[in-house]
């Protein structure tokens, strides 16, 4: 019987961040990044997820300290946007909930 397992030559030279997820629920900021792997002809072949919350500690993404500060700023900006959205489309939220 022939060996049907043969390698298929695929070259991946670039990757593109497709999404970033930030989880604030724990004391430690958790970040997951979905990365699209791009072939030579600029097609996304597949995607991988990279995170600082992997089961194997050595596979964890190292998050720069600056990310925590930026995440806090992003949370503050989005908190205002969510309150405005909720007040416009859902139910009214108290303005005192804004820590701007």
Residue 87 located in a structural domain: yes
pLDDT of residue 50: 95
**Residue 67 vs residues 2, 20, 29, 86: alpha-carbon distances, Å:** 52, 12, 9, 27
* Residue range(s) defining the domain that contains residue 13: 9-61
Output the pLDDT for position 99: 52
Confidence band, pLDDT 50/70/90 cuts, at residue 100: very low
- In this prediction, residues 8-34 reach a mean pLDDT of 90
| Residues 15 and 50 grouped into a single domain | yes
- pLDDT per residue over 33-68, tens digit each? 999 999 888 889 899 999 999 889 899 999 998 998
| 95 strand-pairing partners | none
Residues present in the chain in total? 100
- In a domain? residue 3: no
Domain-embedded: residue 18 = yes
pLDDT tens string 66-93:
998 999 899 999 999 998 888 887 766 5
């Amino acid at each position: 019987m022939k060996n049907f397992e043969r390698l298929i030559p695929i070259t991946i030279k670039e990757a593109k961040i497709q999404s970033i997820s930030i989880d604030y629920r724990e004391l430690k900021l958790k970040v997951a990044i979905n990365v699209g792997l791009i072939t030579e002809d600029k097609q996304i072949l597949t995607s991988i997820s990279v995170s600082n919350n992997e089961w194997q500690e050595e596979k964890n993404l190292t998050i720069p300290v600056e990310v925590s500060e930026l995440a806090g700023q992003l949370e503050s900006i989005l908190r205002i946007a969510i309150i405005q959205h909720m007040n416009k489309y859902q139910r009214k939220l108290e303005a005192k909930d804004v820590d701007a």
